[in-house]
Amino acid sequence: MIAAHRAGTARDAVAVGAAVTLTHTAGVLVLCLLVSATSAAAGGSALRWLGGAAGLLVVAIGVGMLLVRLRDRLAAVERLRDRFTALPTVTAVLVPAVGAGLTLRAAFDL
């Protein structure tokens, strides 16, 4: 991975893009060759198993992404809660004062 603290140039981006493209293409070609070889050797049952495994993999990745998203959302809520910790002390003074004022108003019909 490229260091997160280093500002990259356009040349760096092209190099990373080319590396990702080449490795992805090579991986897909190898996978296609494996599927072709196993389907020819084992028949249709191998393709059903591969399809089921691929489906489970997609579901697992989706659930993982959802859990990461929920964890990040909860962390953001915690940061906001920590940010406004002084707010309850202000409301702890204002709410009883307003409540007392409304009570006095109702009691003495002011």
Answer yes or no: is 68 within a domain: no
Q: What's the whole-model pTM score?
A: 0.42
User: For residue 14, what are the domain limits?
Assistant: 1-42
Please count the structural domains in the chain. Answer: 1
Residuewise pLDDT in 10s, the chain (110 residues)? 455 556 778 888 999 999 999 999 999 999 888 877 777 777 667 667 777 788 888 888 888 888 888 888 888 877 777 666 655 556 666 777 777 777 777 777 65
How much is the pLDDT for 1?
Answer: 47
CA-to-CA distance for 51 and 60, rounded, in angstroms? 14
List all residues 6 or more positions away from 8 whose beta carbon is below 8 Å from its beta carbon: 2, 16
What is the chain written as a DSSP string? ---TTSPP-HHHHHHHHHHHHHHHHHHHHHHHHHHHHHHHHHTHHHHHHHHHHHHHHHHHHHHHHHHHHHHHHHHHHHHHHHHTTTHHHHHHHHHHHHHHHHHHHHHHT-
The answer to whether residue 64 is domain-embedded is no
pLDDT at site 104: 75
97 lies in some domain: no
Residue 19 counted as domain residue? yes
27 within domain boundaries: yes
